C-alpha cells in the first residue's frame, strides 16, 4: 500500500514540476509513476482495488492539472510562466498585394543572390532576381510574383 501511495504522489509531483522545466522528461516519468502505481494496485488488490486506485489517480491528476493550468495562470506568480500576449500581423503581404506591385520600381536592400530583399514605396519585400547576382542599392523593376516573392530585373 505504501509503495502505491508513494508512486501516486511521485507521479503527481513530477507532473506539476514539469511546468517549471523545459521538455517532457518529467511528464513522461510522472505518467510512468502513475501507471506503475495503478498496475501495482491491480497486482496486490485485484480488479476492484486496481480500478479504485485508477479512479483515485484520475481524480488526483484532474485536480493537479486544474490547479496548474486553471488557477496558477491567474496568480501573480503564475503569470510569469504563461504567455498572455497575442501577435497581430503577418510576415508577408497577401499574394494579391504582391501581384499588384508588377511594373513598379524599387531598390535592392540586400544583395540578391539570386534572392534577397527589395524596398518598394517604403516597404520591404522578398524578391528573386531573374538575372542572378544583384548588388545592394541597384534599381530594380518588378516583373511578376511567385510563391509570396517578387521576381525582379535590373533597370538599365
* All structural domains of the chain with their residue ranges: 2-80, 95-154
* Average pLDDT score, the chain: 87
Per-residue pLDDT for 56 more than 90?
no
Q: How many angstroms separate the CA atoms of 50 and 39, rounded?
A: 7
Which tops the pLDDT comparison, 155 or 79? 155
pLDDT confidence of residue 15: 85
pLDDT tens-digit series, residues 36-46: 999 999 999 99
Tell me the mean pLDDT in the region 49-77. Answer: 86
Given pLDDT bands bounded at 50, 70 and 90, which one contains residue 61?
A: confident
Per-residue pLDDT for 93 more than 70?
no
What are the b/e assignments for 3-14, b being 16+ CB within 10 Å?
ebeebbebbbeb
Closest CA to 35 of 61, 11, 62: 11
The CB density around residue 84, as the number of other CB atoms within 10 Å, is 6
Per-residue pLDDT for 52 more than 80?
yes
Per-residue pLDDT for 141 more than 90?
yes
pLDDT confidence of residue 138: 93
Percentage, residues of the chain above pLDDT 90: 38
The CATH number for 95-154, chosen from 3.40.190.10, 3.40.50.300, 2.40.50.140, 1.20.810.10, is 2.40.50.140
Amino acid at each position: 500500500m505504501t509503495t502505491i501511495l508513494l508512486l501516486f504522489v511521485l507521479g503527481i509531483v513530477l507532473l506539476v514540476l514539469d511546468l517549471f522545466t523545459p521538455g517532457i522528461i518529467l511528464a513522461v516519468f510522472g505518467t510512468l509513476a502513475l501507471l506503475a502505481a495503478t498496475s501495482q494496485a491491480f497486482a496486490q488488490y485485484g480488479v476492484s482495488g486496481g480500478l479504485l486506485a485508477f479512479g483515485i489517480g484520475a481524480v488526483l491528476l484532474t485536480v493537479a492539472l486544474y490547479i496548474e493550468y486553471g488557477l496558477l495562470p491567474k496568480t501573480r506568480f503564475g503569470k510569469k510562466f504563461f504567455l498572455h500576449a497575442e501577435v497581430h500581423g503577418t510576415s508577408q503581404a497577401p499574394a494579391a498585394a504582391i501581384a499588384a506591385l508588377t511594373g513598379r520600381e524599387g531598390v535592392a536592400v540586400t544583395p540578391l543572390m539570386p534572392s534577397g530583399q527589395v524596398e518598394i514605396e517604403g516597404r520591404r519585400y522578398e524578391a528573386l532576381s531573374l538575372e542572378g547576382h544583384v548588388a545592394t542599392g541597384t534599381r530594380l523593376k518588378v516583373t511578376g510574383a511567385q510563391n509570396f516573392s517578387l521576381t525582379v530585373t535590373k533597370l538599365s
